[in-house]
Structure 1
Amino acid sequence: MVRSSHARFRRSTPAVALATAAALALAGCSSDSGGKKADEKDDSGVSAGRANTPRLTVALITHQAPGDTFWDIVRKGAEAAAAKDNVKLVYSADPNAGNQANFVQNAIDQKVDGIAVTLAKPGALRSVLGKAKQAGIPVVGLNSGLADWKKLGLLEFFGQDESVAGEAFGRKLNGVGAKKAVCVIHEQGNVGLTQRCDGVRKTFEGSLENLYVNGTDMPSVKSTVTAKLKQDGDIDHVVTLGAPFAMTSAQAVEETGGKAKVATFDLNKDLTGAIEKGTVEFAVDQQPYLQGYLAVDGLWLYKNNGNYTGGGEQPVLTGPAFVDKSNVAAVSAYAEKGTR
């Protein structure tokens, strides 16, 4: 039972942070984000005064692929919370679920005070997350894994309901008159990406086909999308599941000279500029900065005051929200800072 696991966490005595950045650097990138001075501003421009609480070490482990700038925004949010909360943040990432599990095990071995993890492939993390629970280390989920975080005994979850976001996306496509679309999946086996496309299909009144690409190879993404557009001239919308893939798909559309428009999930600085120019029609914002921030802040609150959101039963939803030409100007300033 999820609630019983929370009880075990509450009975455990907060451990003194034993991990060091060097020890976990072997497992990924280390970031001593708690080192900011009082009143030093982070990338969002928010004052980052440090809390007067015991020093904690938190491991943030994601399925970030090389070059995926979405995760840079997640990390900035986590770093801002770490600076405020007197937390040493240790960041590790790999799209390979087995490597992600190894990072979690390394964090357990280093006796960190808390773990924040994404659950793109939850089955691969089930065993090691059980070990974290046995060790009395609280774990929160973020971004991916809304359907599985409670089953795996996590304390909290911060993210977007991908199915709901997909359904909203499908209705948006109906509203702009789309008839035939492809949904570009850049990582096979990622449950969150599949849920997005399935959600779109549920409400979209036109036809939707999944198109699988190698998200770690952008030239390959471009050639695959280009080939599909040349093969089927009736495609009027390319749906991508991340900002970098939207930008690459927009290049493919331009090169084919077709009529297709690009719409996407997630934002970055280049993407908001593309919306302003009309290169990309719209995007769904799940607020990755907020996901990273809340994950770290949630662990700090739990360790210092026993707080956890949603009664251990409900997630904290950070999206979806649509960004298009009507409101992109309000978002662009934050995107320029790399925080949206």
Structure 2
Amino acid sequence: GETQRPENRFLTPDAEVGALHQSEPITIEVEVEVASREERAATVYYDYLVDAGAGIGERYNARFTDPDHPELVPGRFLCVIDPNDDGIEALCDGLESSYRGPVVRVEHDDWDDLRSELRARMAVQVPVAMLTTSVPTTILALEVRERARNRPWVTYWIELLDQHLAPSVAPFCQVTHSGTLFENEEDFFWGLSSEISAAAAAQLGVSLDFSSHSEVAGQAAAIRECVASGASVITTTLVEPEVLLPAIEEALAADIPVVSFNSGVNAADEIGTVLHIALDDHEAGRIAGEEFNRRKIRGTALCVIHEPNNVGLHERCEGFEETYRGDVERWSAEDPAAARGELAARLDEGDIRATLTLSVHSAWDARIVNNRRAEPVPLAAFGFSVGLARGVLDG
């Protein structure tokens, strides 16, 4: 079938600071064995939350019970439910199962309504404690608590991932390409990606085999190794779709679902991956061009492609070319190890009026080159790091 893609992937350049940006849930039709794992995971996760909620109730029983009068029932306990987190109310189920006093659930789809109800309940009868089920509900509860006559105890719950998958025998395989930096260091983006994947696998309780490859032939070979090992799922980037296609076809023929991410959004349908998770590179480039126009940048802009074989980066430059009102030159270093010098030489030719980089590291190196120039050119970047953010703040 058609490759599915997350929706709502972009925040516009004029979005308010702090605006939430979340994708819609996606359901993937796969073999029964994988679906049964999901059902089992939901049960495990529910039980996990119930046990956690019951533990909180027992701790507050001990806190509020008077040894001299054990028959007295402790006061009200508010359980504040985050409406954006399906299933988190299981914490309240557990709290109700163990806490000796009354438990009142507070839940609204609208945050203002949730705040109003908390204020009303605090004004009528201040509870002895509150259990908040997320960071936003904790912040809201603390805000209301500050205005109360008596300040109740607040226990908060922070769950970094909202599912705890049951362990599987077959590994999850993640295969990526890897970027080459100007100084041949490890690519920050892929280093962070591998760390997040390892952390997620540990919290989800799954076995993860992760590998990255500077050559696409190595990436294709790794996919075939995943097939041979009987992987339950394979995720891969589509940096050069035509080269990876035969290996991916072998995985699909073995009934192994393949999820693609990062580069290759326009090739995912033809290849047949069940889901593609990525920035829409072409649209991202278009947005960059519109932002250049809004800032009244004119003349030739350099679109720096740090991975010349990456189809997604070329699509980003294509989108940039469509909307930017000046000329666009796609540029890649002939020798990645000497890219700073090559970039400096290109800028010294004098006809470049702005530079667009497509990764954190290439942006950082371009900034170093720019800072050494007598007349720096405007620099824009895809990606985020604290250093880049500070650079923007510094002008």
TM-score (norm 1): 0.66
1:133 aligns with 2:252: yes
**Which has the higher relative contact order, 1 or 2, with Cα contacts under 8 A spaced 6 or more apart?**
1
- The 5 Å alignment of 1:97-246 reads 97-180=216-299, 181-214=301-334, 216-217=336-337, 220-232=338-350, 234-246=351-363
Give the structure 2 partner of residue 276 of structure 1.
393
The 8 Å contact of residues 69 and 268 in structure 1, kept in 2 or not, is answered as: no
* Deviation for aligned residue 1:271: 2.0
Structure index of larger Rg:
2
Deviations 1:274-301 (A, max 9, x none): 22222xxxxxxxxxxxxxxxxxxxxxxx
- Segments of structure 2 that go 5 or more residues without pairing to the other structure are 4-27, 38-48, 53-157, 181-185
* Partners of 2:362 and 2:349 in 1: CA distance: 20
Give the structure 2 partner of residue 53 of structure 1.
166
1:70 aligns with 2:189: yes
The 8 Å contact of residues 183 and 238 in structure 1, kept in 2 or not, is answered as: yes
Return the letter of the residue paired with 2:214. P
* Deviation for aligned residue 1:206: 1.2
Give the structure 2 partner of residue 10 of structure 1.
30
Cα distance change on mapping 1:157 and 1:173 into 2, 3 Å: same
* Deviation for aligned residue 1:186: 1.4
1:261 aligns with 2:378: yes
* Partners of 1:215 and 1:162 in 2: CA distance: 25
Return the letter of the residue paired with 2:267. D
Return the letter of the residue paired with 2:252. K
The 8 Å contact of residues 141 and 154 in structure 1, kept in 2 or not, is answered as: yes
Cα distance change on mapping 1:60 and 1:216 into 2, 3 Å: farther
Return the letter of the residue paired with 1:133. L
User: Matched residue pairs, number?
Assistant: 247
* Deviation for aligned residue 1:80: 3.7
* Partners of 1:277 and 1:46 in 2: CA distance: 35
Cα distance change on mapping 1:48 and 1:235 into 2, 3 Å: same
* Deviation for aligned residue 1:152: 0.8
* Partners of 1:129 and 1:117 in 2: CA distance: 9
* Deviation for aligned residue 1:49: 8.2
* Partners of 1:49 and 1:167 in 2: CA distance: 34
- Segments of structure 1 that go 5 or more residues without pairing to the other structure are 18-37, 40-44, 279-340
* Deviation for aligned residue 1:189: 2.2
Return the letter of the residue paired with 2:318. D
* Deviation for aligned residue 1:215: 7.5
Return the letter of the residue paired with 1:164. E
Cα distance change on mapping 1:104 and 1:216 into 2, 3 Å: farther
* Deviation for aligned residue 1:230: 0.7
Cα distance change on mapping 1:249 and 1:46 into 2, 3 Å: farther
* Partners of 1:208 and 1:52 in 2: CA distance: 47
1:85 aligns with 2:204: yes
* Deviation for aligned residue 1:78: 2.3
Q: What secondary structure, in the 3-state scheme, does the structure 2 residue paired with 1:192 have?
A: helix
Q: What secondary structure, in the 3-state scheme, does the structure 2 residue paired with 1:259 have?
A: coil
Cα distance change on mapping 1:263 and 1:159 into 2, 3 Å: same
Deviations 1:119-139 (A, max 9, x none): 011111100000001111111
The 8 Å contact of residues 30 and 257 in structure 2, kept in 1 or not, is answered as: no
TM-score (norm 2): 0.57
- RMSD over aligned Cα, in angstroms? 2.8
Deviations 1:256-278 (A, max 9, x none): 22230210111223222322222
